[in-house]
Amino acid sequence: MKNIFDEMTLNKLKLKNRLFRSATWLALADDEGNLTEPIFDTYRELAKGGIAAIITGLTTVSPHDASIGGEVIFADDKCIEQHKKFTDMIHEYDCKIFMQTAMVDSFFFIGNDLYRIPITELTTEHINEFINLFKNAAVRAKSEGYDGIQLHVAHNFFLSKFISPLYNNRTDEYGGSPENRAKVLGVILDEVRGAVGKDFCVIAKINGDDFADGGLNINECITACRIMKNHGVDAIEISGNYTSREARAGANEGYFQKYAVAVKERVDIPIILVGGHRSIENMNAILFKTDIEFLSLSRALVREPGLINRWKSGDLKPSACIGCNACYRTPGHKCIFNLRGKK
């Protein structure tokens, strides 16, 4: 019977259990997008805590992207030394590390001036430019010791908007049908695979539903997932455009499960399910009742970075996270109960 502590293999990567730390924005990079000591400290605690693999917070591949504040910038070779030190640290704790590669929005130069260009107005040259940014980031990540990358195609960031009918009104080969809107994902994956080879892990994160009128729905998500699978992605994490404030042990756990199951039933690809995991009982139940292979956690590990080791030691109490989302309003996404010294 499947359980969260099963050893797994993804592509050729050995994982000590089925659990990922889902990408979580920390807002701790410096003004130039460099890694800082607080970033090292946060990820060190996560790597020590028993998780099989960590997916970093949003890392922009563009040197002139929009900013959500404090995100890491991964757009040139000046960052090589700090990232190699970072991946070496993670690997000391038998933990794997994936970089979440993303663009926040579509900013490009027109002449000497920088403009945000709506998706519908992007030229083929602009599209080729951002495709190359993702490819170059993958090459850089592999050279600096990352075990894989994750394409961020969720949460209304740029690639998420590109495949959504709410934002993409193009009438060329990159617009119109769900297949055309998702074509860019196949092109990116082809370029990435051509540059890093077939043995480097490449995963993606996508909304099962945009939860917006006129946005991406589950059938369009499945179309995009099928395209990514056909172009060499190794696994897909299913998410959505909201974070539940009601998720706690025994209540609303695994709240994107129905979307993950729908994708798994129609696309033969390993699936990672994120969203409100709090108890080992519910997580094992998901694995037992469905064909989902992996689970990813965020806020539960904000509350308790060592949660997985605690469970493995035999202390099976659920995560104390109550899903209040107050961590999103603290520097470095710290749990307010931890900051107040409360259990």
- Residue 321, Cβ neighbours under 10 Å: how many? 24
Question: 94 with 80: CB under 8 angstroms?
Answer: no
Question: 206 with 259: CB under 8 angstroms?
Answer: no
Contacts of 144 (CB under 8 A, 6+ apart): 79, 80, 83, 84, 87
Confidence grade of residue 322 (pLDDT, cut at 50, 70, 90): confident
The lowest-confidence range among 193-207, 219-233, 248-262, 303-317 is 248-262
Tally of residues, the chain: 343
Q: How far is CA 160 from each of CA 150, 240, 329, rounded to the nearest angstrom?
A: 13, 10, 24
Q: What is the mean pLDDT of residues 212-240?
A: 97
Residue 200 DSSP class: S
Beta strand 113-116 with 107-110: parallel, antiparallel or unpaired? Answer: antiparallel
Q: Can you tell me which residue has the tokens 């617009």?
A: 175
Does residue 78 surpass a pLDDT of 90?
Answer: no
Q: Which amino acid, residue 297?
A: L
**DSSP H/E element including 274:** strand 271-274
pLDDT for 116 equals 94
Residue range 8-339, CATH number: 3.20.20.70
Confidence grade of residue 342 (pLDDT, cut at 50, 70, 90): low
Question: 275 with 154: CB under 8 angstroms?
Answer: no
Higher pLDDT, 337 or 294: 294
Does residue 53 surpass a pLDDT of 80?
Answer: yes
Confidence grade of residue 18 (pLDDT, cut at 50, 70, 90): very high
Does residue 62 surpass a pLDDT of 80?
Answer: yes
Confidence grade of residue 249 (pLDDT, cut at 50, 70, 90): confident
Question: Using CA of residue 255, residue 16, residue 195, residue 292, what is the dihedral sign?
Answer: negative
Q: Which amino acid, residue 333?
A: H
Q: pLDDT per residue over 250-275, tens digit each?
A: 778 899 999 999 999 999 999 999 99
Q: What is the mean pLDDT of residues 208-235?
A: 97
pLDDT for 245 equals 64
Q: What is the mean pLDDT of residues 214-222?
A: 97
Higher pLDDT, 167 or 241: 167
CA 119 to chain centre: 22
Confidence grade of residue 157 (pLDDT, cut at 50, 70, 90): very high
Confidence grade of residue 304 (pLDDT, cut at 50, 70, 90): very high
Q: Can you tell me which residue has the tokens 């970075």?
A: 305
Contacts of 153 (CB under 8 A, 6+ apart): 159, 160, 163, 185, 204, 205, 206, 207, 224
Q: Where are the domains of the chain?
A: 8-339
Radius of gyration of the chain (CA): 19
Task: Say how far apart CA 145 and CA 84 lie, in whole Å.
Answer: 6
